[in-house]
Amino acid sequence: MNDKLQLPNLDYAALSPMLILFGVACIGVLVEGFVPRRIRHGVQLSLSLLGLVAALVMVIRQGSKDDVVTAQTAVAIDGPGLFLSAAIIVLGIVSLLLIGERSLETGGAFVAQAAVTANTDADRDQAARTTGATEVFPLTMFALAGMLLFCTANDLLVMFVALEVFSLPLYLLCALARRRRLLSQEAALKYFLLGSFASAFFLFGIALIYGYAGQVDFKAIDTAIQNSANDDILLYVGLAMLAIGLLFKAAAVPFHVWTPDVYQGAPTPVTALMAACTKVAAFGGLLRLVYVGFHRTEWELQQVLGTVAVITMLVGAILAVTQTDIKRLLAYSSIANAGYLLLGVLSVSERGLSSSMFYLVAYGFTVLAAFAVVTLVRDADGEATHLSRWAGLGRRSPLYASLFTFILLAFAGLPLTSGFTAKFGIFAAAIDAGQTWLVIAGVVSSAILAFPYLRVVVMMWLSEPGETTPAVSIPGAMTAAALVIGTVATLVLGVAPSVLIEATEHAGIFVSK
Amino acid sequence: MSLAPYVPILGLFALAAGFALFSVAAAPFVGPRRFNKAKLDAYECGIEPTPQPVGGGRFPVKFYLTAMLFIVFDIEIIFLYPWAVNFGMLGVFGFVEMVLFIVTVFVAFAYVWRRGGLDWD
Amino acid sequence: MNLSLELLAAAGDVKGGEAATFWILAPIAVLGALGMVWARNAVHSALFLVISMLCLGVFYVLQAGPFIGMVQIIVYTGAIMMLFLFVLMLVGRDSSDSLIETLRGQRMVAILLGVGLSLLMGIALYRALGDSDPKGLTEANAAGNVTGLARLIFTKYVYVFEVTSALLITAAVGAMILAHIQKSPEEKISQPERMLKRFLPGNYPAPKPGPGVFSTSDSVATPARLPDGTPSDRSISKILPTRELTSADVAPKGTEK
């Protein structure tokens, strides 16, 4: 009874990026309580950016060290884990620039007091005059820290806690739009209900896998798959449940139905955060789960996930054609991209891993730039997201129309953009792994998906500007920076991708301890 | 597992149920029975029964906030329990970790307090 | 004696008190769950859920997890059900779900898919668990259930345990953001201001007439009469419908007997 505890060894240096982010988030919550409202925004913004940069430095410093599995077997800080952490932090910095922007609209993109009933006089008054809630900064930091943990979790239970830590702030952030608040609240409610449902599936899956393997860490599961006497049905049902939870976050068909509504309803900077960072986290978790824990079920996985990937690519592409709202269009495009990423997951090879990580980063930068432009095209009622409003934008403001055209071409996967290199890498990895039928589906869906992108391009350049075509606002410094970073990264990763490709290959493989 | 430790609880349940049943069953036999219309009415402090409020009497949203905060600290206490029971085994390490946990949750408390979440009006 | 019972349980032979408790409570738990789904009144639904949760709590205790059983009863049936009831009262207990389908045939499809999934899961688990070899919790509970838990929480999962506090902070911040309206300092009325306002000309500083004063009935829904005989609307709560008493209501009720 009174025997002493074997103390866990915690490698604080390896955990420091997460610890910094959690710490900054806690300080941010205290700032909300104790710092006067006037200077809160500045304090929060600089605090969050500093925290992210410090976390990035710690990730890079850890990069030169050996792989670490710390807190017994709970957290694995390995090459891919560090790469994904760095990707989430960098994309997080860019999203934070969008979140912190206040010059486009009085008080920023967020509502001041979300508890005020929407569409009342008090609400109209606060929309016109008061500055937005600054709780968004600590919430974003909590979400990013949770994402880091999700990518480095070496244990299903840790993964579940991380899933909740990064989901809960995102549900909240979705509800905080300054304009069209009912839409935003509806989006948050949908995301929350479906998200908790997916979490429940994930948890059920953990229980079944525990029943099968008797353990919940990936290494033990892998060992159990090799020599467990238990019935394999338990394993497959459990794995299916886990996959439902993860594919929900990754927005793969048929678990995608929340995506368009949430992307449309959420404040655009939050949509950008979800499209870039959540995608990295969800696929980071999925990659580790498949590569470390379940790679011995590769054959069965490829049948099921392959089908999901094909449906995801095709449904995303076909439904994107019918969209009339730019945010919904980008949402369906994000669904189709989840399908391409699944190809990388399914390859279950070193090449599949490195090409998936490249794709995540490339797509993240492009989608951030795309949503940065969406925040700029606005009129007196806020963002003009209906596609008909974008007609003739090329005449009104050629610079931003050109930038957006370039971004759309990158989405379509034209050469000299990051979209091409990324897709090429992932398709090549899939062919290596003998998944030719998936690649064929991928190419077909890319061809379909090019149509809606080109339709927007044609609309911007070849239509006459109508009376309702809004002007493009002059971006504030932060949106401009986000836009430039996103676009330049898209270009550089298309023209000279070798630096990042080397980094992804240098990251090596997931540690299995 | 052995259910022996729970037998006293079961006994207590049985005793409580028996007492309740006995009281209800015995009342008609031992009490006087003089009914009138007022006695058969719904009991509302002796005044005329009041109709249901419109909309079923809705509560203000403040109650939700209070309930949510209660749950947050309730869960904190759940974590305290295994720590407290094994204080000797967990030693200084456990103490430090628990203090860290409590301080972190206290951040939420400080925020709620400063923002007026604890004021009723 | 205890050891032999435990060994029997580990071998999958559920006997005696455990089996009896299970077979008594399992139907109650299922009925509670069905009642929760089928009850028209939201408050009844919530109370059915309480029954289900209490039964589950006992099941956990039965399966050698006393800690999780108590947590189930304290946190779920205690705190979370209280939150449920508050939210129901927030929405109004008379408001019911709209039963109009926005997507045609959605309910049918949902029922079919739900039943299908449960059947699939049920059959798969029945087959998978048919010949498995349950270990039981004897080994994990060797030093006591709570001690075993503490050992895990403070070693392998100590980091995750600390991270859980982030979840709790997020929950508190979220509740504040979504439910709390912060009053600006100028909106707060101080006591002197309140008093001044009360005694300003045009206001009525005396207490409101109580219900039933000078009236024919003592119901709080019957307006009081002012000295000149007119009914005073100020005397009844705004949320109560005004009620004229029928002659049956005011007739003597035979209490003098």
Q: What is the 3-state secondary structure (H, E, C) of A334-366?
A: HHHHHHHHHHHHHHCCHHHHHHHHHHHHHHHHH
pTM to 2 decimal places: 0.88
> How far is residue A472 CA from its own chain's centroid?
26
Tell me A290's DSSP state. Answer: I
Angle of the A498-506 helix axis to the A79-100 helix axis, nearest 10: 130
Which of these ranges, A40-49, A296-305, A414-423, has the smallest mean pLDDT?
A: A296-305
- Could you tell me if A1 lies within 8 Å of chain B, comparing CB atoms? yes
Chain C residues whose CB is inside 8 A of the A233 CB are 124-125, 127-128
| Chain B residues whose beta carbon lies within 8 Å of the beta carbon of residue A4 | 89, 91
CB neighbour list of residue A17: distance below 8 Å, 6 or more residues apart: A55, A56, A58, A59, A62, A85, A89, A148
In this predicted structure, which of A249-263, A269-283, B28-42, C170-184 has the lowest mean pLDDT?
A: B28-42
- Once rounded to an integer, what is the mean pLDDT over residues C197-224? 68
Please say if the pLDDT value at position C1 is more than 50. Answer: no
List of chain B residues whose C-beta atoms are within 8 Å of the C-beta of residue A29: 107-108, 110-111
Share of chain A above pLDDT 90, in %: 59
Q: Give the per-residue pLDDT at A331.
A: 95
SS3 assignment, position A379: strand
Q: Are residues A230 and C160, on separate chains, in Cβ contact within 8 Å?
A: no
A170/A297: higher pLDDT? A170
Q: Do B115 and A33 touch (CB under 8 A)?
A: yes
> By a Cβ cutoff of 8 Å, what residues of chain B touch chain A?
61, 88-91, 93-94, 104, 107-108, 110-111, 113-115
pLDDT category of residue A293 using cuts at 50, 70 and 90: confident
Distance from CA of B117 to the nearest CA of A (A): 11
Decide if pLDDT at C244 tops 70.
no
B13 or A510: which carries more pLDDT confidence?
A: B13
Under 8 Å between Cβ of A391 and A189: no
| pLDDT for the residue numbered A298 | 80
Which of B72, B107, B115 would you mutate first to test chain A, the one with the most A CBs within 10 A? B107
* Angstroms from B46 CA to nearest CA on chain A: 40
Question: Do C93 and B51 count as a contact with CB atoms less than 8 A apart?
Answer: no
A139 interfacial to chain C (CB closer than 8 Å): yes
Overall average pLDDT of the A194-214 stretch: 92
C50 has a pLDDT exceeding 70: yes
- Residue whose tokens read 């001044």: C196
Q: Which two tokens stand for residue A243?
A: 């996959």
Q: Of A456, A492, A273, A449, which is closest to residue A368 (Cα–Cα)? A: A273
| Closest Cβ opposite residue B37 in set C71, C78, C253 | C253
Q: Which of residues 67-126 of A touch C (CB under 8 A)?
A: 70-75, 113-116
Region A81-87 average pLDDT:
93
Q: Lowest mean pLDDT: which of A42-51, B46-55, B65-74?
A: B46-55
Other CB atoms within 10 Å distance of the CB of residue A182 = 11
pLDDT of residue A145: 95
Tokens of C62: 């039965």
Q: According to the model, what pLDDT value does residue B46 have?
A: 46
Residue C226 to residues A235, C11, C209, C223, C235: CA-CA distances in angstroms?
78, 80, 8, 9, 10
What pLDDT score was predicted for residue A120?
86
Query: C180 and B67: CB-CB below 8 Å?
Result: no
| Residue B44's pLDDT band (cuts 50, 70, 90) | low
In the prediction, which pLDDT does A131 show?
85
Distance from CA of C131 to the nearest CA of B (A): 21
Question: What contacts A504, CB < 8 A, 6 or more positions away?
Answer: A83, A353, A354, A355, A357, A358
User: Do C125 and A234 lie within an 8 Å CB cutoff?
Assistant: yes
- Using CB atoms, list chains with 3+ pairs below 8 Å to chain B: A, C
Cα A183 from Cα A327, distance rounded (Å) = 13
Q: What is the pLDDT of residue C18?
A: 80
Which has the minimum average pLDDT: A120-124, A436-440, C98-102?
C98-102
State the pLDDT at residue C234: 72
pLDDT value for A229? 73
Range scoring the smallest mean pLDDT among A65-69, A278-282, A491-495: A65-69
Structure tokens, A18: 């997460």
The reply to whether residue A233 touches residue C180, judged by beta carbons under 8 angstroms, is no
Q: Does B111 contact A115 at a Cβ distance shorter than 8 Å?
A: no
Q: Which residues of C touch B72 (CB under 8 A)?
A: 168, 171-172
Contact A161 C124 (CB under 8 A): no
Better-predicted residue by pLDDT, C185 or A240: A240
Identify the helix (H) or strand (E) that includes residue A382. strand A382-383
pLDDT of residue A336: 93
Tokens of A353: 């891993």
Closest C-alpha among A492, A323, A299 to residue A410? A492
Amino acid at C216: T
C161 contacts B79? CB cut-off 8 A: yes
Three-class SS state of B105? helix
Q: pLDDT > 70: what percent of chain A?
A: 99
User: Is C129 at the interface with chain A, CB within 8 A?
Assistant: yes
Cβ of A231 within 8 Å of Cβ of C143? The answer is no
> Does A498 or B35 have the greater pLDDT score?
A498
Residue A47 pLDDT class (50, 70, 90 cuts): very high
Instruction: Select the residue from B10, B35, B48 to test the C interface by mutation, using most C Cβ atoms within 10 A.
Output: B48
pLDDT at C4: 42
What gap in Å lies between CA A161 and CA A167, rounded to an integer?
Answer: 10
Could you tell me the CA-to-CA distances from C94 to A37, A485, B63, C90 in Å, in that order? 40, 54, 18, 11
Reported as a single tens digit per residue, the pLDDT across B61-74 is 888 888 888 899 98
Q: Indicate the pLDDT class of residue A300, thresholds 50, 70 and 90.
A: confident
Find the helix or strand (DSSP H, E) in which A77 lies. strand A75-77
For residue A75, the surrounding DSSP H or E stretch is strand A75-77
pLDDT in tens, C118-171: 999 889 888 887 766 677 777 777 788 888 888 888 888 999 999 999 999 999
Q: pLDDT band at residue C217, thresholds of 50, 70 and 90? A: low
Q: Which residues in chain B touch residue C93, judged by CB atoms under 8 angstroms apart? A: 56-57
pLDDT tier, C3 (very low <50, low <70, confident <90, very high otherwise): very low
Contacts of C61 in chain B (CB under 8 A): 6
Task: Give percent of chain C above pLDDT 70.
Answer: 75
* Interatomic CA distance for residues C6 and A210, integer angstroms: 22
Q: What confidence score (pLDDT) does residue A53 get?
A: 96
Is residue A508 pLDDT above 90, yes or no?
Answer: no
CB pairs under 8 A between B and C: 195
Residue B49, pLDDT score? 57
Contact status, residue C37 vs residue C114, Cβ threshold 8 Å: no
pLDDT for the residue numbered A1? 42
DSSP tag of A68: E
Locate tokens 């976390």: which residue? A55
Confidence of residue B45 (pLDDT cuts 50, 70, 90): low
Nearest CA in chain A to B90: A5
| All structural domains of chain B with their residue ranges | 4-114
- A24-28, A168-172, A246-250, C135-139: the lowest-pLDDT one: C135-139
Domain ranges of chain A: 12-506
HEC readout, chain C: CHHHHHHHHHCCCCCHHHHHHHHHHHHHHHHHHHHHHHCCCHHHHHHHHHHHHHHHHHHHHHCCCHHHHHHHHHHHHHHHHHHHHHHHHHHCCCCCCCCCCCCCCHHHHHHHHHHHHHHHHHHHHHHHHHCCCCCCCCCCCCCCHHHHHHHHHCCCCHHHHHHHHHHHHHHHHHHHHHHCCCCCHHHCCCHHHHHHHHCCCCCCCCCCCCCCCCCCCCCCCCCEECCCCCEEHHHCCCCCCCCCCCHHHHCCCCCCC
Is domain C17-92 classified as CATH 1.20.120.1200? yes
Mean pLDDT of A466-488: 86
Check residue C11 and give its pLDDT: 44
CA A399/CA A383 separation, integer angstroms: 18
Q: Decide which of C240 and A279 is more confident.
A: A279
Q: What is the token pair recorded at B118? A: 């604890």
| Chain B nearest CA to C42, separation (Å) | 12
Q: What is the pLDDT of residue C221?
A: 66
Q: Which of C63, C83, C212 sits opposite B67 (nearest CB)?
A: C83
Q: Is the pLDDT of residue C6 over 80?
A: no
Mean pLDDT within A375-380: 86
What is the residue type of C85?
L
- Predicted local confidence at residue C90, as pLDDT: 80
| CB neighbourhood size of A463 (10 A) | 16
**What was the pLDDT predicted at B56?**
59
Please say if the pLDDT value at position C195 is more than 50. Answer: yes
Q: What pLDDT does residue A385 have? A: 87
Subunits with 3+ Cβ pairs within 8 Å of A are B, C
Mean pLDDT calculated for residue range C112-121: 93
At C7, is the pLDDT very low, low, confident or very high (cuts 50, 70, 90)? very low
Please report residues of B whose CB lies closer than 8 A to that of C218: 46-48
Residue A30 reports pLDDT greater than 80: yes
Query: Which among A377, A170, A186, A374 has a CA at the least distance from the CA of A265?
Result: A186
Average pLDDT, chain B: 82
Judged by CB atoms closer than 8 Å, whether chains meet at C171 and A168 is answered as yes
Asked whether residue C212 carries a pLDDT value surpassing 70, the answer given is no
SS3 at position A217: strand
Which range is least confidently modeled, A383-387, A406-410, A436-440, A482-486?
A383-387
pLDDT of A143 reads 96
